[in-house]
Amino acid sequence: MSNSNKWSSGVHSRSGDILTYNLHGNCYVNLTNRCTLKCNFCPKFNKIWDVQGYNLKLCADPSVDDIVAAIGDPTRYNEVVFCGLGEPTMRLSALLEVAEAIPEQIRVRLNTDGLGNLVQGMDITPELAGKVDAISVSLNAQSEDVYNRHCRPPLTGTYPALLDFIECAKQYIDDITLTAIDGLEGVDINACREIADDYGVKFRPRELDKVG
Ligand code: SF4
């Protein structure tokens, strides 16, 4: 697919922001640019906002109505996925409202850094039940030390909070996948896979700058 085709398959707001974008037959929702981490591998912290042909920089967080309108008919897609250059759970209520507007037969996936409980100061996973079918959690590393080096969390206790989120989410969401980027310095993909096995959830190695 040419770049121009990719651009035209994103839905823009009046200000030109890309609110949703299409990849792999899925509709990806660009809910916010705000983030809980400052990952050194993140394109936006390297002043790059283009991800697979889409410029995901937002002038402002889009409204729920604008997102729902941008998704349009969800039955055109395999999945609706919350995944932009920001952490969707930073806008928990908007995330839940949009998810609620998606018909039951369409799979809804949340791609998250797994820090929603830490940032919101409560267990958010019961709120996701029945609205989100699958969660991909960026585990990113096999240890707190390696995680902190790559993800540069502003808050302390982030890695244990991420692990605790997985345990909480398991009680409400059947389909959980942990991910880590293959090839980052110090990241042991096999050890990350073992952590997923220990939690009884799936694991998927990711490629840098590839949305999945
Ligand atoms: S969690 Fe994702 S969007 Fe946020 S800084 Fe890390 S890579 Fe970037």
pTM for the full predicted model: 0.93
pLDDT category of residue 211 using cuts at 50, 70 and 90: low
Ligand 1 centroid distance, CA of 33 (Å): 9
CA-38 nearest atom, ligand 1: 5
pLDDT category of residue 135 using cuts at 50, 70 and 90: very high
- 210 pLDDT exceeds 80? no
- 5 pLDDT exceeds 60? no
pLDDT value of position 52: 86
DSSP 38-103: --TT-GGGGT--EETTEE---SSPPPHHHHHHHH--GGGSSEEEE-BSB-GGGGHHHHHHHHHTS-
- Ligand 1, atom 7: nearest CA belongs to which residue? 42
- Residue 124's alpha-carbon distances to 96, 99, 109, 178, in angstroms, are 11, 14, 15, 18
- Ligand 1, atom 8: nearest CA belongs to which residue? 42
DSSP helix/strand/coil, 141? coil
> Mean pLDDT of all residues in the chain?
92
CATH of domain 3-206: 3.20.20.70
Q: What confidence tens digit (pLDDT) does each residue in 181-208 have?
A: 999 999 999 999 999 999 999 999 998 7
**Does residue 13 or residue 159 have the better pLDDT?**
159
39-43, 145-149, 208-212: lowest mean pLDDT where? 208-212
Mutating to test ligand 1, I would choose from 32, 33, 37, 57 the residue with most ligand atoms within 8 A of its C-beta, which is: 37
- How confident is the model over 24-52, as a mean pLDDT? 92
Ligand 1 is surrounded, with C-beta below 6 A, by 35, 37-39, 42, 44, 85-87, 113
Ligand 1 centroid distance, CA of 87 (Å): 7
- Least Cα distance to 181 among 209, 153, 162 occurs for 209
